[in-house]
């Protein structure tokens, strides 16, 4: 007789783990205790969970596991950024990035192995798509970061490899765990989901979550966005902008962060800035200008700093909050849209190509 596979408790939300323990004949609070052991205290050995009855611990040994991804390579940058190559149970690899800044710790988390959206300016798009991450693999990146830092990160951004809203059913419970008081206690305002514009999933997200929203925009009109962000051909700006407004409509204090990579001679003129101002009229917005980070094989170039600043000032004069993102981790290929490289995977004793996370702008 084939035995049922053991349940990985890492990927269960509070409701999920309570239900699992009730199914074992235990009490819901036992599930909450185990959730706290795993996520808040980082304990993975059932026998070390001292407030769980011995008989229940023995049952857990037969029915459950605490299975986490593992870091196989850590690359520190000169600016303090660290890029972790993370190996999954099936041997696939993703990357997670830690960005320290003025007492804050931001962790950039992946949601897929690869990406299918094929944005033309992003190196991850060149790696193709393999599969979605499950809940345990997503929240496992936060678990690893918490163990490394000694505390939960202050900010988590779902801006890593893949399109988070294309993996809706796993990303949403993972974000719930990030905010859970028994786990990481990260404020909803400090959990950010980034999308390239999967409109139906964005509308669905508004019904179940109110984390911060960032949108990979990168162009002020459909013709140019069709070229840069191909999903625009399916969900054009006429659908995307209202969906974004709907998402933040419940709270007048909230703003949408629009990610806009600055490409020399492509989308960085004052005329483009004026078009962007018209597009965002009446939309609660913050525009994050991102200097393009080149990668091998690309034909795009980085906009000159003076042009980026002129673009930013034009937006500001119109009343739109606008910032220019500081490039972080570029000396280890950990900067936005740049993350692809060869690493020496010591667990396999050979040099192999590792598909890695693009921080934004999938």
What angle do helix axes 135-149 and 168-179 make, rounded to 10 degrees?
30
Q: What is the pLDDT of residues 295-315, one digit of tens each?
A: 778 889 999 999 999 999 999
Position 167 confidence tier, pLDDT thresholds 50, 70, 90: very high
Look at 215 and 329; give whichever has higher pLDDT: 215
Look at 22 and 113; give whichever has higher pLDDT: 22
217-251 burial by CB neighbour count: b if 16+ within 10 A, else e?
A: bbbbbeebbbbbbbbbeebbbebbbebbeebbeee
State the total domains in the chain: 2
CATH number of 38's domain: 1.10.150.530
Per-residue pLDDT at 129: 80
67 is catalytic: no
Is there a domain that residue 360 lies in?
A: no
The distance from CA 298 to its chain's CA centroid, rounded to whole angstroms, is 24
Average pLDDT for 172-181:
98
- Mean per-residue pLDDT over the chain, rounded: 88
286-320 burial by CB neighbour count: b if 16+ within 10 A, else e?
A: ebbbbbbbbbeebebebbeeebbeebbebbeeeeb
The distance from CA 296 to its chain's CA centroid, rounded to whole angstroms, is 24
95 is catalytic: yes
List the beta strands (DSSP E) in the chain. 7-8, 64-65, 70-76, 82-87, 93-101, 104-108, 112-114, 129-132, 155-158, 191-195, 212-216, 256-262, 285-291, 321-324, 341-345, 350-354
Q: What is the pLDDT of residues 228-269, one digit of tens each?
A: 999 999 999 999 999 999 999 988 889 999 999 999 999 999
Residues 278 and 138 in one domain: yes
Residues 118 and 245 in one domain: yes
Per-residue pLDDT at 2: 62
Position 101 confidence tier, pLDDT thresholds 50, 70, 90: confident
Is there a domain that residue 361 lies in?
A: no
Residues 47 and 82 in one domain: no
Q: Which of 87, 95, 137, 180 is catalytic?
A: 95
State percent of the chain over pLDDT 90: 77
Average pLDDT for 343-361:
35
Per-residue pLDDT at 1: 55
Rounded Cα distance, 48 and 159, in Å: 35
Per-residue pLDDT at 87: 94
Give the C-alpha distances (Å, rounded to integers) separating 317 from 219, 253, 281, 313, 322. Answer: 19, 21, 13, 6, 10
Average pLDDT for 147-151:
95
Q: Which of 115, 119, 122, 336 is catalytic?
A: 336
Residues 158 and 27 in one domain: no
Query: Looking at the whole model, is its pTM more than 0.85?
Result: yes
User: 362 pLDDT exceeds 60?
Assistant: no
Average pLDDT for 206-218:
96
Give the C-alpha distances (Å, rounded to integers) separating 275 from 175, 224, 265, 272, 289. Answer: 34, 12, 15, 5, 15
Position 338 confidence tier, pLDDT thresholds 50, 70, 90: very low
Is there a domain that residue 59 lies in?
A: yes
Residues 31 and 179 in one domain: no
Q: What distance separates the 2 farthest-apart alpha carbons in the chain?
A: 71
Per-residue pLDDT at 3: 72
**Residue numbers of the domain that contains 137:** 70-354
How many CA atoms are closer than 13 Å to the CA of 160, on its beta-carbon side? 34
Is there a domain that residue 174 lies in?
A: yes
Is there a domain that residue 1 lies in?
A: no
CATH number of 230's domain: 3.20.20.70
Q: What is the pLDDT of residues 13-56, one digit of tens each?
A: 999 999 999 999 999 999 999 999 999 999 999 999 999 999 99
What angle do helix axes 14-23 and 28-39 make, rounded to 10 degrees?
130
User: 336 pLDDT exceeds 60?
Assistant: no
Per-residue pLDDT at 296: 78
Report how many helices (DSSP H) and strands (DSSP E) the chain contains, helices first.
10, 16
Contact 257, 214 (CB under 8 A): yes
């Amino acid at each position: 007789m084939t035995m049922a596979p053991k349940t990985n408790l890492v990927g269960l939300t509070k409701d999920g783990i309570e239900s699992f323990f009730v199914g074992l004949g235990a009490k819901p609070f036992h599930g909450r205790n185990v959730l706290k052991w795993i996520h808040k205290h980082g304990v993975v050995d059932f026998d070390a969970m001292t407030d769980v009855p011995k008989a229940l611990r023995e049952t857990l040994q037969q029915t459950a596991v605490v299975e986490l991804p593992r870091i196989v390579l850590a690359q520190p940058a000169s600016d303090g950024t660290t890029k972790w190559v993370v190996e999954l149970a099936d041997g696939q690899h993703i990357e997670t990035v830690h960005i320290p800044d003025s007492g804050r710790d931001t962790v950039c988390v992946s949601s897929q192995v690869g990406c299918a959206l094929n944005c033309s300016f992003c190196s991850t798009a060149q790696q193709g798509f393999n599969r979605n991450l499950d809940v345990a693999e997503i929240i496992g990146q936060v678990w690893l970061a918490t163990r490394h830092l000694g505390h939960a990160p202050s900010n988590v951004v779902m801006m890593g490899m893949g399109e988070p809203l294309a993996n809706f059913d796993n990303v949403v419970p993972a974000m719930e765990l990030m905010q859970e008081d028994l786990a990481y206690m990260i404020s909803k305002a400090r959990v950010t989901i980034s999308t390239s514009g999967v409109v139906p999933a964005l509308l669905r997200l508004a019904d179940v979550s109110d984390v911060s929203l960032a949108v990979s925009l990168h162009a002020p009109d459909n013709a140019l966005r069709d070229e840069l962000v191909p999903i625009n051909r399916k969900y054009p700006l006429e659908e995307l902008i209202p969906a974004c407004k709907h998402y933040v409509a419940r709270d007048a204090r909230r703003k949408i962060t629009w990610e806009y990579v600055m490409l020399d001679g492509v989308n960085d003129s004052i005329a483009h800035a004026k078009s962007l101002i018209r597009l965002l009229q009446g939309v609660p917005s913050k525009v994050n200008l991102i200097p393009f980070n080149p990668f091998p094989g690309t034909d795009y170039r980085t906009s000159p700093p003076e042009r980026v600043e002129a673009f930013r000032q034009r937006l500001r004069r119109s009343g739109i909050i606008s910032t220019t993102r500081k490039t972080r981790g570029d000396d280890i290929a950990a900067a936005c849209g740049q993350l692809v490289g060869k690493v020496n995977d010591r667990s396999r004793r050979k040099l192999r190509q590792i598909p890695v996370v693009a921080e934004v702008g999938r």
